[in-house]
Amino acid sequence: PPVGTLAIADPAHWVALFTLLAVSVVASHLSAQARHRTDEATARRDEIARLFDLTRDILLTTDTSKAVDMVAGYIARRFRLDGVTIWLPDADRWQRHHSGGLPIEIEHAVLDRAQSDAVARIEFDASKRAYAGHTVAREPTGTPVWLVPLRLGTRPIGILALRGDSLEPGARDALAGVTAIAIERAHLLEERKESELVRRGAELKSALLAALGHDLKTPLTAVTVAAENLTATWLDEDGRREQAEIVRTELARLNRLFQDIVDMARVETHAVERNRNGSSRRKSWRPRRDRSSRCSRVISSGWRAPWTPCSFGWIRD
């Protein structure tokens, strides 16, 4: 029989052959599309899982002083990147945050241009699932890195630099969004901590003022009683001298208390004193008990009345 030839006598068989070939090509194309979509779905599933793990890492972060550096480390570990650096603008310079590995070195002029592009371009590309503004820059060594704007809503707040395996635009933008939220969370936690310190300071101030107010009553009462005794006609000369000495003593105590109040006001306005070695030291305060007088007054749930005159004040440590 002849070799390398194809003979089809019936025209209907030609139609069947071409139909079979067309169906095979279409089926192969559809199969390739299905595999591609399956791969995309798997990649997105892995991306969502990594983003979930990253979000959990961020929520478990409580150290606000190094929160941004830790976020950079989380991103590098979860997405297996060679380097991650978060650049945040600060006045006329850029702050660099990274954790582990070599930081990404980018000229500040390049960062300024990337930030300007992010401000000017805020359109969203639905096909890429990402905002505009992703750019490729090169380190001084020539290594390419991705610069992704960090947006809080539509407002750019910094630049996320990524080195390593290329991520899809949607994944890069999702990373930038989570990073921006993490930065805002760190700022809110820091503000809450400062508010808590202010609240505790106000409570301490109220307690100090209450204690000082109570301490002011004792010398005032002694001065009032001594002044009334000085006007008494039955008091002899020795008694008058004794009452006058009481007035002078209690007035001196009042003067010390008022001086302490003034010093506390200076501490409140961040006035500090310098010790001998030149370092700055704030004035601290603690209750003072006059050892020369017997007293049974203690601090528990409140002040317990003394059975003998007692002197309390506030002295500097």
Question: Could you list the pLDDT tens digit for every one of the 317 residues in the chain?
Answer: 566 666 667 777 778 888 888 999 999 999 999 998 888 888 888 888 988 999 999 988 888 888 899 999 999 888 888 889 999 998 888 999 987 678 888 899 999 988 888 887 777 766 666 677 888 888 888 889 999 999 888 888 999 999 887 788 888 888 899 999 999 999 888 888 888 888 888 888 788 778 777 777 778 888 888 888 888 777 788 888 888 888 888 888 888 888 877 777 776 665 544 444 444 444 444 444 443 333 333 333 333 333 333 333 433 33
Residue 253, token pair as written in the block: 């105590």
**What is the per-residue pLDDT for 261?**
77
Alpha-carbon dihedral of residues 42, 47, 50, 54, nearest 10 degrees?
A: -160
Residues 6+ apart with CB under 8 A from 172: 130, 134, 146, 148, 160, 162
The one-letter amino acid code at 239 reads: G
DSSP string, 228-279: HHHT-TT--HHHHHHHHHHHHHHHHHHHHHHHHHHHHHHHHTT--EE-TTS-
Report helix, strand or coil for 302. coil
Domains and their CATH numbers in the chain: 47-193 (3.30.450.40), 203-316 (1.10.287.130)
Task: Give the integer Cα–Cα distance in Å for 208 and 314.
Answer: 9
**What is the per-residue pLDDT for 2?**
62
Residues 6+ apart with CB under 8 A from 244: 226, 230
CA angle 295, 207, 288 (to 5 degrees): 35
Residue 121, token pair as written in the block: 């371009």
**What is the per-residue pLDDT for 48?**
87
Task: Give the integer Cα–Cα distance in Å for 181 and 188.
Answer: 10
Task: Give the integer Cα–Cα distance in Å for 130 and 176.
Answer: 10
**What is the per-residue pLDDT for 127?**
62
Give the chain's end-to-end CA distance (angstroms, integer): 116
**What is the per-residue pLDDT for 310?**
38
Longest dimension (CA), the chain: 156
**What is the per-residue pLDDT for 179?**
92
β-bridge mates for residue 299, sequence order: 303
**What is the per-residue pLDDT for 6?**
67
β-bridge mates for residue 156, sequence order: 151
Kindly tell me the burial class for residue 117, based on how many C-beta atoms sit within 10 Å of its own C-beta (0-12, 13-18, 19 or more).
middle
**What is the per-residue pLDDT for 84?**
92
Task: Give the integer Cα–Cα distance in Å for 224 and 244.
Answer: 11
Phi, psi of 91 (to 5 degrees): 60, -115
* C-beta separation of 280 from 272 below 8 A: yes
The one-letter amino acid code at 116 reads: S
**What is the per-residue pLDDT for 256?**
84
